[in-house]
């Protein structure tokens, strides 16, 4: 199997069955922890023997009848779809599921999930939003200790500082490679289709890191070799896909309709930390907490005083020589909808063209999106 085939196998499997997780557990005798986006300290779980598994929904592969009984229809698709998976027992392979404070929907979802599952332990992590407080880093460190304690209760292994240090390094390596791939998309988008780039990232939320890294390395090397030829397409930055993931079909439709997605927020939580410096003698748990609290990057679901989101969006567009910005936001996702207004007013001022489209993770038709994107491309390309 080529790396690409392996990646898609994992992604396909993660929509409903999680067979790969079950097999890993059987082979290793170790537990798995599912996590809801946007950010999760996978290093921590990894160091304690867990397989961290990103939960991103069923991508429309199952009817949401049970979830519909418990939630209203103005709730985003990823939440309803993850909940349906829980109720159907598809997530029974996870010993624990962790949520965090990204939005009210996910927060309440953690509670109703807790009320509806027996075997799985539900944990909720509070990631601080106050990066100016002296207490934020120690606070997050305590939260991580609490999480470690839960994982210990579930998995029976205690957190070991040395192991954590090794895990952080592994994940540093993963993030560095993924960043390299992202840069490739920015410089030569024709050499690597967005969908295969995306599948690669997504597989990274599912595979054991030990088997993922070598494949990723190979994939990056091969991608660098591809020649390819630039087509007459516009370069766009895509924002809004930080939590619920757009169906692959919509991303393909966008590229077909005349775009190169040169930068995006897909699975941003996975890449967000960048490199965590671990000088000798530094406590890795504190380093992990610092990495989050003092991260200067924008994350829609977090507010950090003193960080100028508008400026960041403009910088991003300029760095990438983008001809336009596409706000691709999940239907009913409030954080995305609010960020859209903040982003658009900055782009309006700078006269950078932008487009807003909504999607649902479960959608199976993309005609509206295609028409919008085509028009957008036409408006930039035609004269």
| Strand ranges in 157-243 using DSSP code E only, listed in sequence order | 234-239
Can you give the binding site for ligand SF4, defined by CB under 6 A? 76, 78-79, 102-103, 105-106, 243-244, 301, 330, 333-336
Using CB under 8 A, pick the residue from 124, 171, 260, 359 that binds other proteins.
124
Pick one of 228, 303, 315, 319: the residue that binds other proteins (CB under 8 A).
303
Give the DSSP per-residue string, 124-162. Answer: EE-----TTSTTHHHHHHHHHHHHHHHHHHHH-----HH
**Closer residue to other proteins in complex, CB, 142/187:** 142
What x-and-dash track marks residues 172-201 binding other proteins by CB under 8 A? ------------------------------
Between 210 and 382, CB nearer to other proteins: 382
- The tally of CA atoms less than 13 A away on the side-chain side of residue 249 is 14
Report CA Rg, the chain. Answer: 20
d(CA 353, CA 151): 47
- Apex CA 165: angle with CA 163 and CA 169, to 5°? 115
Contacts of 9 (CB under 8 A, 6+ apart): 1, 20
Residue 243 binding result from other proteins, ligand SF4, none, given CB thresholds of 5 to 8 Å by partner type = ligand SF4
Nearer to ligand SF4, 141 or 304 (CB): 304
65 binds, among other proteins, ligand SF4, none (CB under 5 to 8 A by kind): other proteins
Candidate ranges 159-167, 180-188, 266-274, 368-376; the one touching other proteins (CB under 8 A): 368-376
Query: Residues 55-94 vs other proteins: string with x where CB under 8 A?
Result: -----x--xxxxxxxxxxxxx---x---------------
Burial 64-89 (b: 16+ CB within 10 A, else e): bebbeebbeeebbbbbbbbbbbbbee
Residue 135 vs residues 130, 151, 372: alpha-carbon distances, Å: 9, 24, 46
Q: Does 2 bind other proteins (CB under 8 A)?
A: no
Residues 220-279 that bind other proteins (CB under 8 A): none
Minimum Å distance from CB 330 to ligand SF4? 4
């Amino acid at each position: 199997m080529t790396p690409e085939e392996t990646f898609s196998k994992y992604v396909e499997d993660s929509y409903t069955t999680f067979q790969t997780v079950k097999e890993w557990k059987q082979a290793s005798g170790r537990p798995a922890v599912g996590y809801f986006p946007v950010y999760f300290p996978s290093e921590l779980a990894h160091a304690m023997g867990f397989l961290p598994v990103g939960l991103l929904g069923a991508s429309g592969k199952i009817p949401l009848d049970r979830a519909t009984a418990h939630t209203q229809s103005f709730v985003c698709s990823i939440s309803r779809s993850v909940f349906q998976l829980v109720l159907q027992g598809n997530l029974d392979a996870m010993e624990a599921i962790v949520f965090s404070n990204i939005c009210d929907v996910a927060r309440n979802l953690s509670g109703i999930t807790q009320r509806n599952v027996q075997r799985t332990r539900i944990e909720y992590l509070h990631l601080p939003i106050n990066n100016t407080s002296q207490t934020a880093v120690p606070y997050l460190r305590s939260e991580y200790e609490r999480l470690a304690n839960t994982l210990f209760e579930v998995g029976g292994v205690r957190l070991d500082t040395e192991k954590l240090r090794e895990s952080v390094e592994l994940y540093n390596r993963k993030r560095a490679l993924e960043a390299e791939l992202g840069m490739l998309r920015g410089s030569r988008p024709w050499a690597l289709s967005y969908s295969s780039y995306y599948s690669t990232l997504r597989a990274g939320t599912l595979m054991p890191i030990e088997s993922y890294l070598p494949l990723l390395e190979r994939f990056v090397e091969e991608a660098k070799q591809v020649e390819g030829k630039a087509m007459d397409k516009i370069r766009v930055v895509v924002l809004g896909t930080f939590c619920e993931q757009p169906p692959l079909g919509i991303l393909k439709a966008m590229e077909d309709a005349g775009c190169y997605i040169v930068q995006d927020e897909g699975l941003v939580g996975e890449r967000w930390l960048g490199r965590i410096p671990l000088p000798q003698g530094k406590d890795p748990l504190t380093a992990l907490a610092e990495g989050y609290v003092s991260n200067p990057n924008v994350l829609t679901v977090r507010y950090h005083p003193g960080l100028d989101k508008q400026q960041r969006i403009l910088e991003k567009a300029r760095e990438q020589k983008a001809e336009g910005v596409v706000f691709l936001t999940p239907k009913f996702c409030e954080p995305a909808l609010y960020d859209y207004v903040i982003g658009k007013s900055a782009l309006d001022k700078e006269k950078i063209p932008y487009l807003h489209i909504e999607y649902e993770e479960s959608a199976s038709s993309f005609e509206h999106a295609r028409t919008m994107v085509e028009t957008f491309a036409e408006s930039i390309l035609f004269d």
